[in-house]
Structure 1
Amino acid sequence: MSYLETTKNVYKDAALTPDVGLCCTTNPVGELPGLKIPKIMQEMNYGCGSTVHARDLVDNPKTLYVGVGGGMELLQFAYFSRQENGVIGIDVVDEMLAASRKNFKEAEEVNPWFNSNFVDLRKGDALHLPVEDNSIDVAAQNCLFNIFKTEELKKAIAEMYRVLKPHGRLVMSDPICEQEMNESLRNDERLRALCLSGSLPLQEYVKMLTDAGFGTIEIRAKKPYRILDPKNYPTEELIYIESIEVAAIKDPMPEDGPCIFTGKAAIYFGEDDFFDDQKGHVLLKNQPLAVCDKTAKALQGLNREDIFISESTFHYDGGGCC
């Protein structure tokens, strides 16, 4: 049995018998006016963060969500579009699709604005998306890509890139780990299915995205996730896993490399009202400006005593230099 088959079986069982906290942390459910999320959807929220951000969802975007879970984020995406087939949900597990359809009927009862036909559920997998090229404004996955090994991960990212429109957004939440994992952990099919042993270092994760062609990367959140300890897992050291929320934007790749935002800011505090680097970055006096890592490095290279560059906060909330 391959690790992908093991994953399907894990989530088949999770669809038939909801398993709270199966693979992921319990996150607060975002409160939105007039949106009520059925308890069963919250119990089947098999994700390690959120991929639903209001600033991504303006002007009725066509949205794709891969790995439907209990349908909670599909319902949240539908809240912003409210149109027939405005949201596409894809899953390889029949039982998970059936559970979502059932959950949407319950959601209709507590949300007068919602209709199940707002969500187009399709059977398919992340490696062969049943979606047309350049047709999606916002694509999302939550705690899915970390399950894949390298070659499958490359295919999954390439598929998301294919279906997105120019400047479309791939919004993701996944575990990451900066420590090296031994082969026993990496090859444990169930631990990989449980969103643990497939975790990559952040730099490697981001490189996968930029190698696929995404010209802008936003690190929106990084927070504690799980511990793998020697008493309960095949490891001789304590392993710390974090979760991240990331947006990869299908912008053209700049000639000097991708713009990767990790929450750095530049602050000019000189004698003039502003500083202009003549490369598109204007720093108003005493006003923090979010800058990508590339711009931060260039500003540091000027060796000015009146420009301060902060360390990465791993929280980026829009705006900034690009």
Structure 2
Amino acid sequence: MSAPDKNQSNEHVRETVRTGYAAIATGQRSCCCSSQRSGHADPTRLAKAIGYDAESLANLPDGANMGLSCGNPVAIAALLEGQTVLDLGSGGGFDVFQAGEKVKASGRVIGVDMTPEMLAKARKNIGHYRQRTGLDNVEFRLGEIEYLPVPDSSVDVVLSNCVINLSPDKPQVWREVFRALKPGGKISVSDLALLKPLPDDVREMAAALVGCVAGAVLVDETRAMLEKTGFTSIVLTPRPDYVRNMQDWNDPLYKQVAETLPKGEEIADYVVSLSIEARK
């Protein structure tokens, strides 16, 4: 593919994702795992299943949890008081608000999202967060994760939850993350990854793309990208429970993908939630 064609394709992917997540933010869709509102969508149930505790979920501003997670990067990161944290694809502020409580008044959490509708939703929730916690340590910035709106070597921890797989230029995302981190800083990411390549007809499904499946890459590809970027202490931990839960709950997207797979195969044979940890 020529450079102009590649750029056009990448921009098409970004616009597909932007449009899909704008619909989620405005309530036209229930979550990233469905092309329409679904009675099966239960953000709280999903969050508990992937490791978020009931107390943290109960304290969140209304609408911050939209069922877009595939893991719990906040828990994996073991955040410390005073740290500066950057959350890629922050959505309604789900992980940002939880991280803010952990880094306390001397810390800072910056959420970045490319969807203005999501940004408006998250910023609207800041008042509730301040009132409940007494903290004024979170902010949300408009930007693409391939071009992060933060200075070089300015953050201690980078979080992301089921977002990097949506990017059409993942190597650029990892380069930007590396640039933003302070020396010794770390990443704590939950993402979807592949155990083996998806069939072509699944990858081409627009619903699967916005649902975080079609953009996922192989686990080994993720490791190779991190190593090439310069990350060290890389730990990749596959977590199959997320995909199995989505299958068991008859999620519309996962049902649609399952029906497209070759006979006798299931989504868990291909897709896994992956915890990604590494240091600069």
Q: Shared fold by TM > 0.5?
A: yes
Task: Tell me the equivalent position of 1:27.
Answer: 47
Task: Tell me the equivalent position of 1:249.
Answer: 279
CA, structure 1 residues 229+3, in 2 after alignment: closer, same or farther (shift >3 Å)?
A: same
Deviations 1:108-154 (A, max 9, x none): 34x24233xx11211110111111111110011111111123xx000
> Which of 177, 200, 203 in structure 1 is aligned with 2:194?
177
CA, structure 1 residues 35+57, in 2 after alignment: closer, same or farther (shift >3 Å)?
A: farther
- Report the secondary structure of 1:244's partner residue: strand
CA, structure 1 residues 180+112, in 2 after alignment: closer, same or farther (shift >3 Å)?
A: closer
Q: Does 1:51 align with 2:81?
A: no
- Name the structure with the higher strand share: 1
CA, structure 1 residues 7+33, in 2 after alignment: closer, same or farther (shift >3 Å)?
A: closer
Deviations 1:268-288 (A, max 9, x none): xxxxxxxxxxxxxxxxxxxxx
- Name the structure with the higher helix share: 2
Task: Tell me the equivalent position of 1:36.
Answer: 59
Q: Does 1:3 align with 2:29?
A: no
Task: Tell me the equivalent position of 1:160.
Answer: 177
CA contact (8 A) 1:142 1:174 kept: yes
> Radius of gyration: which is bigger?
1
Q: Does 1:212 align with 2:233?
A: no
For residue 246 of structure 1, what is the amino acid of its counterpart? I
1:36: how far off? Answer: 1.4
CA contact (8 A) 2:85 2:158 kept: yes
Unaligned runs of 5+ in 2: 1-10, 34-42, 248-253
- Report the secondary structure of 1:210's partner residue: helix
Greater alpha carbon shift after TM alignment, 192-201 vs 120-129: 192-201
Superposition TM-score, scaled by structure 2 size: 0.77
Deviations 1:70-128 (A, max 9, x none): 1121001110223388111111110000000112223334x24233xx11211110111
1:30: how far off? Answer: 2.8
Q: Distance in 1 between matches of 2:224 and 2:53?
A: 30
Q: Does 1:135 align with 2:145?
A: no
For residue 190 of structure 1, what is the amino acid of its counterpart? A
CA contact (8 A) 1:3 1:193 kept: no
> Which of 127, 132, 135 in structure 2 is aligned with 1:114?
135
Structure 1 vs Structure 2: percent identity of aligned residues?
Answer: 25
Unaligned runs of 5+ in 1: 251-322
Alignment RMSD, CA only? 2.7
**Equivalent residue pairs, number:** 244
Q: Distance in 1 between matches of 2:28 and 2:89?
A: 15
CA, structure 1 residues 122+246, in 2 after alignment: closer, same or farther (shift >3 Å)?
A: same
- Report the secondary structure of 1:95's partner residue: helix
Which protein has greater RCO, CA pairs closer than 8 Å, 6+ apart? 2
Q: Distance in 2 between matches of 1:21 and 1:144?
A: 13
> Which of 48, 52, 68 in structure 1 is aligned with 2:90?
68
Task: Tell me the equivalent position of 1:12.
Answer: 22
> Which of 119, 142, 148 in structure 1 is aligned with 2:167?
148
